[in-house]
Structure 1
Amino acid sequence: MTPKVQSILSYLGILWLVAFFAGKEERNDLSIYHMKQGLGLFIIAIVSNTTAGIALTLVPSLSFIISVFGLVFFIFMILGIIAAANEVKKPLPLIGKLFEDTFHFIR
């Protein structure tokens, strides 16, 4: 698996695991960068969707606002895939800088 494919897969949720375990010997700085960005996006999406689900059970009229969260994370995912396909180290909007120096287990 090439580093470019690893970079793209890292933004596709659970396929991050495929990129992490299948291509350990072929990683470069670009794929490591995008794997950190993708894992961060996945974690924030899970936390925010769980929080939104709890809020939705408490206040059902928030359904439109909560659906916007899903759209925002989808847009972030597309922007990350585009950056990975163009082989550019570009952080995700609003949240990307948080993950540049985290997840030290990704090497």
Structure 2
Amino acid sequence: MKNKTLAIVAYITLIGWVIAYLQYKNQEEKSPLVRYHLTQALGIFIFAIALNIVITIIASIIPSLGSILLIAGLLPLILLIFGIISASNEALSPVPGIGKLFENKFSFLN
């Protein structure tokens, strides 16, 4: 697969991330584009899990906030769309809000 395609596939569910990661590891010459977007996508997935835990706790304590929390639960999807757009433009730009937190993390990708 092309590097651009791998960068985009990294954002499509965890299975897509694993496929992109395995293809990246099998490459002779590691692409910085793919590595960057693997990092960003993994960061979004971790953020999504943490956000869902927080939303579940808050919704169980204050059930009347359910509709607002439902909208907040869509934030990871929006971040994934921003990541896909960035990957399709072959840009190394972080996703808004949380992208900078994960830029130099996950050393196993190097």
Query: Aligned pair 1:81/2:84, yes or no?
Result: yes
Aligned positions of 1:1-107 closer than 5 A: 1-14=1-14, 15-26=16-27, 27-107=30-110
Distance 1:47 1:104 in 2: 21
Distance 1:45 1:2 in 2: 27
When normalised by structure 2's length, the TM-score is 0.89
Query: How many positions carry a matched residue from both structures?
Result: 107
8 Å contact from structure 1 (residues 13, 38) kept in 2: no
How far apart in 2 are the matches of 1:5 and 1:24?
A: 15
Structure 1 stretches of 4+ moved >2 Å:
none
TM-score when normalising by structure 1: 0.91
Unpaired stretches in structure 2, ≥5 consecutive residues = none
Matched residue SS, 1:102 = coil
Deviation at 1:24, TM superposition (A): 1.6
Identity, % of aligned pairs? 40
